[in-house]
Amino acid sequence: LSRGGSRLGSRAKNTHRNYSCWCPSKRLILRLLYFVFPIVQTLGLPITDEQIQEMKSNLDNIDFKMAAEEEKRLRHDVMAHVHTFGHCCPKAAPIIHLGATSCYVGDNTDLIILRHAFDLLLPKLARVISRLADFAKERADLPTLGFTHFQPAQLTTVGKRCCLWIQDLCMDLQNLKRVQDGLRFRGVKGTTGTQASFLQLFEGDHHKVEQLDKMVTEKAGFKRAFIITGQTYTRKVDIEVLSVLASLGASVHKICTDIRLLANLKEMEEPFEKQQIGSSAMPYKRNPMRSERCCSLARHLMTLLMDPLQTASVQWFERTLDDSANRRICLAEAFLTADTLLITLQNISEGLVVYPKVIERRIRQELPFMATENIIMAMVKAGGSRQDCHEKIRVLSQQAAAVVKQEGGDNDLIERIRADAYFSPIHSQLEHLLDPSSFTGRASQQVQRFLEEEVHPLLKPYGSVMKEKAELSL
């Protein structure tokens, strides 16, 4: 977040410009080096107004070339900026980084970046949920064949199926917000977390050390800090962060896999532009390339969780430095990947195309078998024997199945029932008994209640960012 948490544009190609690499933002580093001193001054240490003003005036005066040369010489990123900042602030140079450790700068900066990074993702996730909610509402009553084990099952509706996707994303939204709200500042803890250096600076005054920690935490915008740290904040924080991002990746993968399968069934498609080419060899193809890209990136996002799990497990005692290079990669990549996924999924959800006639045809192929129980019940009500009716339908169903599987024909079970005099008492009811809407249960009512009670209240805080469209430069 080299621009202090600037808002990402809607174009996926610009994503990397806002997150930068996870090396802590140079401006945030200097601010953390600076803003502790007015607080220290109020607590009684001999820091002059002139020194504070000198630092404040040079917060954006960063000589990056000098910092790079210092880092090459010192082999230490934070100290390179301490020296560079000191060169700009000769009067304040003796006190810069006074009593602090590199992890006061690096870890606290990372926590600020994490908090801002969630701010970039949450509105995008809310927009995806909103677009899918509109889609679900519009198609809440449209019957479609349900699948279990990818085998035909009872009917559902297109809107109800979409709500399965939305529910997962709502859980992700709540989890991202929960982890963001639960972030705690490392605070001012010293080299091994004991605050020994600060206790010495304040000549044994424990209250002032605690006040410093509390005031710096509030200055950074956090509600609380860790009471216990080693040199770093516990790396389990990174596990929590990447866990919710990996979980989001799983949700996106499931949604886009469903879309890919539905594209194969020709029931639903992602957006496909007029001039878009699906295949260089097969001009007729309409490949679900956006959904495929999401699945590809989601797979990467899910695997990134292994990095902080391994890192947290091998932090020796108060800390070891084998976490640093790894974290600079996996934390940044996780947010970058999640961001790209959400931009792409929003684009998909804004242009989903449904083919009701294809859906209707597939229902006609499978519904006769599903309707057999209803037909048996209707016959019983008309005075027939359940066992006799069951046997009649069993024989006719097998004959119809043979036509479908062995001859490649259409399901003609209903025609066979119409032609059988045994079923004459219910012939006039068959059209009603085969009405797809009578097989979807409470699907449409569930959609309405779910959107009203769970989705819309969850999206309310994001009302001001809902209009932004997602455009892809692929």
Question: Amino acid identity of 218?
Answer: E
Contact status, residue 34 vs residue 100, Cβ threshold 8 Å: no
Q: Specify whether 279 is catalytic.
A: yes
Q: H or E stretch including 155?
A: strand 151-157
pLDDT at position 214: 96
Q: Choosing from 149, 207, 280, 473, which is the catalytic residue?
A: 149
CA–CA separation, 25 and 2 (whole Å): 5
- Rounded Cα–Cα distance for residues 103 and 101 (Å): 5
Q: To 5 degrees, how large is the angle CA 45–CA 51–CA 53?
A: 120
* Biggest distance spanned by C-alpha atoms of the chain: 105
User: How do the pLDDT tens digits run along the chain, 474 residues long?
Assistant: 232 333 333 334 444 444 444 455 667 778 887 888 899 899 999 999 999 999 999 988 888 899 899 989 998 888 898 999 999 999 999 998 888 888 898 899 999 999 999 999 999 999 999 999 999 999 999 999 999 999 988 999 999 999 999 999 999 999 999 999 999 999 999 999 999 999 999 999 999 999 999 999 999 999 999 999 999 999 999 999 999 999 999 999 999 999 999 999 999 999 865 445 455 445 555 789 999 999 999 999 999 999 999 999 999 999 998 998 899 999 999 999 999 999 999 999 999 999 999 999 999 988 888 888 889 999 999 999 999 999 999 999 999 999 988 999 889 999 999 999 999 999 999 988 889 998 999 999 999 999 999 999 999 999 999 999 888 876
Residue 282 token pair: 């097969």
Marked catalytic residue, from 279, 385, 424, 437:
279
397 is catalytic: no
Q: 430, exposed or middle or buried, with CB in 10 Å at 0-12, 13-18, 19+?
A: middle
Domain 357-427, second-level architecture:
Orthogonal Bundle (1.10)
Per-residue model confidence (pLDDT) at position 447? 98
What pLDDT, on the 0 to 100 scale, is given for residue 354? 96
Q: What pLDDT is stored for residue 285 in this prediction?
A: 55
Structure tokens at 157: 């509706």
Instruction: Look at the pTM and tell me if it is higher than 0.95.
Output: no
Report pLDDT for 5: 31
Q: Where are the domains of the chain?
A: 102-143+152-186+230-271+284-354+440-464, 357-427
* Per-residue model confidence (pLDDT) at position 192: 94
Q: Compute the distance between CA of residue 422 and CA of residue 428 in angstroms, rounded to an integer.
A: 13
CA distance 216 to 300: 37
- CATH superfamily of the domain spanning 102-143+152-186+230-271+284-354+440-464: Fumarase/aspartase (Central domain) (1.20.200.10)
How many residues does the structure list for the chain? 474
